[in-house]
Structure 1
Amino acid sequence: MDVSDTVRAGVLGHFGVRQADSASVTFLGLEPIQILRIPVADLVHYVTLGGSRHPMTDPTAMLADPEQGPRAELVLTLRGNAGASSGLPRTLGVLVATPAVEGVVLQADALLDLGEPLWHNAPFTAVLLGESDIPDVKLPEPAEPVRFLAVTPLTATEAAWVRIRGAAALREAWAEAGIDVRDPERGAVNL
């Protein structure tokens, strides 16, 4: 079973396209990760391929199950072309490789802090994961389906807000302030 081909077909089908531009990111000891770039109207969707090849393992588990366990890919949606060739593919590769490198299980409301700009000159240094509108991709039994998690860029102030008050409180603040989190030029919400 080639998980990446199955996931690619699911992603392209969701967006109604036959192909997408892609970049490849490699890390020592890991299989290559591809980042698909799919423009739709004024939005650009960046989708990882490769994070779901293997199930994520609970870091407290004694043995990793090669078949069962959650699988995830990441989706970042931005307005315009910001980040297209400015380090964004590498950053997404780092984020989706976190389970293999650090034993983190990617899930909704997880805060991942890189401590450096997500792309060249970006004000964002962390991300908040959330539910995506891309449907899960089913894999043959006994493998669990591949989930897609939306990536929302955060400023250092917003990351601190999540640590103190939680993801729901930050999302509520964004909604009240009318913040478009897909705008790569946005500033932090006044917290």
Structure 2
Amino acid sequence: MADVLTLVEARLRSALGEPDARAAVTFLGTDRIEVLRFLDATSGIVRYATLGMSAAPMTDPAAALADPEKGPRAELLLSVRAQPGTDTDKVLRPLAVLAASPQVEGVVVAPGNSLDVGEPLWPGAPFTSVLAAEPGGLVEDLELDPPMDPVRFLPLLPMTPNEAAWKRVHGAEALQERWLRHGTDLRAPQRESVRLAD
């Protein structure tokens, strides 16, 4: 499975450039998860990408037997605007926790899912959860040899508690439409909740 991660890292580097930092987190009973940090000095955007979640396919917890090859594979991407006084690098551990959730909790992470870390994503962040968005924009899917599924790189969109509650009622698509309509800067590390009542 190390070969898969080698290919994943190569795809991340080709799309985002050279990482300027990386950290590894290991949870009891799980494989190591790394988080790579990419800084786009031109735009001031910091991107964090997990590496390790795709080593094994995600398995439906209701399945009687886990297939070692077939099943969805993914890595997580978070883009944040660099802002003085905001230590977004502390998001490394929460991201690793989310990336380990398929191994630890049998969660299958897919577009439209809410993922809650139960604490601010970084010190002082107004977000405790994220919305997994559709892949393919920033980093293209990585095709693997059959019968393995491709690795999908899922962008994570931070949600305030109010947004997360609203999404549970109205759905992911409705929340994304609202963000778009109000011109919400989803990369702003200290943004306020979008207006949820018309």
Alignment of 1:95-106 (within 5 A): 95-106=98-109
* TM-score, length basis structure 1: 0.94
Q: Where does residue 184 of structure 1 map in the other structure?
A: 189
Q: Which amino acid aligns with 2:65?
A: L
Kindly provide the amino acid, as one letter, of the partner of residue 106 in structure 1.
Answer: V
- Which 5+ residue runs of structure 1 have no aligned equivalent? none
Q: Tell me the CA shift for residue 67 of structure 1.
A: 0.7
CA contact (8 A) 2:140 2:152 kept: yes
* 1:120-139 correspondence to structure 2 within 5 Å: 120-132=123-135, 133=137, 134-139=139-144
Which position in structure 2 is the counterpart of 1:30?
30
- Mapped to 2, the partners of 1:125 and 1:102 lie a distance apart of 19
Distance in 2 (alpha carbons) for counterparts of 1:83 and 1:59? 35
Tell me the distance in 2 between the aligned counterparts of 1:116 and 1:18. Answer: 30
Query: Which of 47-56 and 23-32 deviates more?
Result: 23-32
Shift in alpha-carbon separation, 1:19–1:170, aligned structure 2, 3 A: closer
- Where in structure 2 are there 5+ consecutive unaligned residues? none
User: Percent sequence identity over matched residues?
Assistant: 49
Q: Shift of residue 4 of structure 1?
A: 1.1
TM-superposed deviation, 1:102: 1.0
CA distance in 1, matches of 2:147, 2:184: 41
3-state DSSP class of the match of 2:64?
Answer: coil
In structure 1, what residue type is equivalent to 2:21? D
3-state SS of 2:53 partner: coil
Report the count of equivalent residues.
Answer: 189
Inter-partner Cα distance in structure 1 for 2:145 and 2:152: 15
Shift of 1:173: 1.2
How far apart, in 2, do the equivalents of 1:19 and 1:76 lie? Answer: 14
- Residue 5 of structure 1 is matched in structure 2 by 6
With structure 2 as the length reference, what TM-score do the two structures score?
0.91
Q: Secondary structure at the match of 1:68?
A: coil
- Provide the C-alpha distance between the structure 2 equivalents of 1:184 and 1:21, rounded to a whole number of angstroms: 19
**What is the match of residue 89 of structure 2?**
85
SS at match of 2:54: coil
Partner of 1:14: 15
**3-state DSSP class of the match of 1:85?**
helix
Give the drift of 1:139: 1.7
Q: How does 1:113-124 map to 2 (within 5 A)?
A: 113-124=116-127
User: Partners in 2 of 1:33 and 1:126 — Cα distance?
Assistant: 19
Measure the CA separation in 2 of the matches of 1:64 and 1:20: 36
Q: Which amino acid aligns with 2:79?
A: T
Q: CA deviation at 1:19?
A: 4.4
Change beyond 3 A, Cα 1:153–1:182: same
Q: Pick from 169, 175, 198: which aligns with 1:170?
A: 175
